[in-house]
Chain A
Amino acid sequence: MINKILSTKNLSLKITITLFVVSFLICSLIYPGFFSWQNFFNLFIDNSFLLITAIGMTFVILTGGIDLSVGSVIAFVSMVIAFLLQQGLNAFIVIPLGVMIGGCFGAIMGLIIQKFKVQPFIVTLAGMFLIRGLSFLISVESISIKDPIFNRIANYHIPIAGGAISVNVVLSLVVLALGMYLAHFTKFGRTVYAIGGDEESAQLMGLKVGRTKVLVYTLNGLCSGLAGVAFSLYMLSGYGLHAEGLEMDSIASVVIGGTLLTGGSGFVFGTLFGVLIQGLIQTVIMFQGTLSSWWTKIFVGILLFVFIVLQKVISNMKTTKNEFNN
C-alpha cells in the first residue's frame, strides 16, 4: 500500500492532491473560521465555471494542443445570454443555445487546425480576439440579467452537509464525471492520449486522428459554452470584458493538475485539484486580508514553475534505465 502510494505512477497527481489537502489543513489551523464545509463548498461555487472550461482544456492539452479562446467564448456566451434574455426569450432556449455557440465555435477552430494543419496556438489566438470583439458588437456596456427563471436557477441552493451548493457546482461535477469517463473509458479518450503521445504513430496505427482532433476542440468549445452559462449564472450579467485571462487560469489548472503541456499524459481528475488549489489561494488571500489580489497571480505563477520542473524531474526518473534495455 505504502509502496503503491509512493510509486512514481501518477506521482504528480498524488503530489497535487496532497498539496491541496495539506494546504487546506494548514490554513484551517492558521485562520480561525476557515475550516467549514461551506468554505470548502465555496471553492467549488466560485470556481465551477473554471472547472468546466478546464476539463475541456485538459483534453486539448492532452492532444498536445492549446486553446486560447475559452475566456473570450465565455464572455461572448454571457453577452448573448444576457441580450437574448433581455429581449424576452425563454431561459430554457437561451441556455442550450449558449452551449451550442461554444460548440460551433470550437468545431470551426478544430476544422481549421486539422484541415489546414495550422498551429492551434495561432488559430485559437485569432479566435480569442475575434470572438471577444464580437461580444462588443452586441453591446459595449454590461447587460444585467433580470430574467426571473434565470435568476431562480442562479439563486437555487441545494442544502448539503450543513451548507449549500449552487446549480453550477452540480453542473461542473457532472462535467467532471463525464470528462473522466470520456478520457479513460472510451475510444475517443484513448485516441486523445495516443495523439498526444505520437501523432504520426497514431495515424499509422489506424486511429481516427483527424476526426478526434476536431472533436476535441468541439468538446472544449462545448465546455467553454457551458462555462459561459455557468459564468452568467454566477455573475447574472453579460459583458464583453468578462472572464478576461480565464484561458490562462484554465491552462494553469490543467498543468498544476498534472497534465503535461506536451500532451499524452495527465488526468482529468487532476484538473479538479488544479482548480481547487487556485481557488484555495484566492480564499487564503481573502482571509489574510492585507494582501492585494495580485498575490494570487504570484502564487499561481510560482506553483506553475514548481510543477513544470517537478514533471520534468519525474519523467527523467522514469526514463533512467530499465531491466529490458539492451
Chain B
Amino acid sequence: MQTSQEFSKAEKFWMNFKLYQFWRFIVLNLKILAAVYQSKRS
C-alpha cells in the first residue's frame, strides 16, 4: 500500500519561506472569505 511519493525540495522550500508564506496567508484568508460569502449563507 505504501508508495514513495514525497514533496520535492522546491515545494518544501516554499512551504517554509516566510515571506512567500505571508503572501499565502493573505491569499488564503481572502480565498476562504470569498468562498464563504459566495456560498449561500442565506
Chain A complexes with chain B: no
Measured CB to CB, the residues of B under 8 A from A are: none
